[in-house]
Chains A and B, each alone.
Chain A
Amino acid sequence: MSLKDKAAIVGIGQLPFSKNIGRPEEVTALEAARLALDDAGLRPQDIDGTSKWSIQNTAENLIARNLGVPNLRWFGEVGYGGGGGCGVVAHAAAAIAAGMARCVLVYRSRNRGSGGRPWAGTSRERDQSQSESNETAIYAPYGFVRPVDQVAMFTRRFLHERGYSTRHLGWIAVTTRKHAMRNPMAMMREPMTLENHAASRVISDPLRLFDNCLETDGAAAVLVAEASLARDCRQKPAWIMAASQGMGPRNVTMNNFFKDPILESPGAHAARDLWRMAGVTPQDVDVAQLYDAFTPLVLASLEEYGFCKPGEAGDFVEHDGLGVGGNLPNNTSGGSLSEAYVHGINLIIEAVRQIRGTSCNQVPGARLSMATSGNMVPTGALLLRGD
């Protein structure tokens, strides 16, 4: 038994992204849920499940109570922030495949643009991040507390072992920005060149400002429905062909430097299960949304998910290989680097738009559409298909 093709994403909703959305996360979560219901042509009474990030501040009972959901039969959550998004949808599909729910609301609202940084102890997410205190101890005495530092540590070794350069990271930032320029919802729409990337200020050498995602206030929701309901909805279903999660050995959040091989991140584990369940190969994928909280994550994912062999990802991304018409059109809404950073729910929504044919950077005839979650933490991946 597997969850393959048992459920589809039938509704998507997102609010305009901003630095300061001006109202609380519980309100924007409800607004996003209402948009997703309208999009699907469903009512709150149709919802019988919820699936959320563990660090989502707004609990499912508040959502269900305010929406007027009569009976929530199933509710679940996944940890690890940016690593959780595809897992949250995967859990929804699993609950549906198991008969525990028929229509699951997945939601993420996050006031991070206006809400401060967890690593600086200035945000509401602070308590959750500090609960991993055993792991904070590894880093804190050395001033090594920002996510960018941890990804930079991986990156220097990765570039060294593979023979990639920071110019390859630049290609990822530039291509993603090019996509964002055609997306009216994207926060960053100014043109960017490789020279702009190379001249942006250093944050954690070897990573620069334009290797980093955006601080964002945002809210989005998707509805996952069982097959019979999905066929009756307003929109073309994005069938969940495969969904997987992965952690790998000796994992330490936020990054894992303590295992061998040192460059293998959790995405490599999620990848194996994804292709096994889907019964297709990376070459069959038409369009991808590879999690890009930082540019090097995309480079690593290209290897881990089998789009290229170790050492070949640099050539793969050069000269717009991730652009529409390139080897693998990627982050077609502008991704976390240029559209918005909301723990990747925008990437999942863009994967659905590509199936529907409604992306602002539409890949003609896209039928297999992929999304991944943060691959320096326990992660997950989704493969969606059209009819």
Chain B
Amino acid sequence: MSEQAEAFVRRTGGEWWMPYWEAGRRRELRFQRCTDCGTWRHPPGPMCPSCQSFGVEWARASGRGTLLSWVVCHPPLLAVWKERAPYVVVLVQCEEGVRTMGNVLDLAAEDLRMDMPLVVDFAPSPDGDLVPQWRRA
């Protein structure tokens, strides 16, 4: 993979994201949850926007959600993605109230319906690491 492509595929995000990616490698979907008020949050960050607590745990999510929206990406794209185009990216409303994204497995763009139930699965991103992805529930 070219250095340029790698820069956009690698999972940056710094310390707040590390537990998310580590969980993915174990085939687990985890999000931050406030240890004071119990509110889930994603994307991750240091403070609970509901109660301003710094207390946080990485709790296991059910992996169930619904499809809020999707796009089908066509070129112009970076080389590593061009090979896979056209590909689908989905926005998922998780049961816990947070939203996250991913590609879809075993689903073509034509199969997608707004608000359809989805379930998490795990598949490699182009850099080889397992990341959360989505399939038909």
Contacts and interface: CB of A to CB of B under 8 A. Distances in A.
Interface of A: 119-122, 130, 133-146, 149, 152-154, 156-157, 160, 201-207, 249-250, 252, 257-258, 262
Contact of A202 (B14, B42, B72): B72
Contacts of A134: 12-14, 16-17, 43, 45
Interface in B86-134: 86-87, 89, 91, 98-103, 109, 114, 125-127, 129, 131
Given A146-B77, A149-B71, A156-B70, 9 more contacts: A135-B13, A141-B127, A142-B102, A142-B125, A144-B73, A152-B71, A157-B91, A205-B86, A257-B101
13 contacts: A137-B17, A141-B125, A142-B102, A143-B73, A143-B89, A145-B8, A146-B73, A154-B69, A156-B71, A201-B74, A203-B76, A204-B71, A207-B71
Contacts of B43: 134-135, 137-138, 252, 258
Contacts of A204: 71-74
A191 to B, nearest CB: 25
Contacts of B8: 119-121, 136, 140, 145
A120 B13 contact: no
A69 B7 CA distance: 41
A153 B109 contact: no
Contacts of A138: 13, 43, 100-101
B94 to A, nearest CB: 11
A203 B81 CA distance: 13
Nearest to B78: A120
B68 A257 contact: yes
Closest 5 A/B residue pairs (Cβ): A137-B13, A205-B72, A141-B125, A157-B69, A143-B81
Interface string B42-70: 11010001000000000000000000111
Contacts of B84: 143
B135 to A, nearest CB: 14
Contacts of A258: 42-43, 98-99
Nearest to B72: A205
Nearest to A207: B71
B126 to A, nearest CB: 8
Nearest to B74: A202
B77 A153 contact: no
Interface of B: 4, 7-14, 16-17, 42-43, 45, 49, 68-74, 76-78, 81, 84, 86-87, 89, 91, 98-103, 109, 114, 125-127, 129, 131
A153 B89 contact: yes
B102 to A, nearest CB: 6
Nearest to A138: B43
Given A119-B8, A133-B12, A134-B17, A144 B74 contact: no
B101 A144 contact: yes
Given A152-B71, A156-B71, A157-B68, A141 B42 contact: no
Given A121-B4, A133-B12, A133-B14, A153 B71 contact: yes
A139 B81 contact: no
Given A144-B89, A152-B71, A153-B91, A137 B101 contact: no
Contact of A203 (B68, B74, B125): B74
B70 A153 contact: yes
A63 to B, nearest CB: 31
Given A134-B17, A157-B68, A141 B73 contact: no
Nearest to A204: B71
A332 B102 CA distance: 39
A250 B8 CA distance: 23
Nearest to A117: B76
B63 to A, nearest CB: 17
Contacts of B4: 120-122
Nearest to B12: A133
Nearest to A151: B71
Contacts of A157: 68-69, 91, 114
A207 B14 CA distance: 32
A220 B11 CA distance: 37
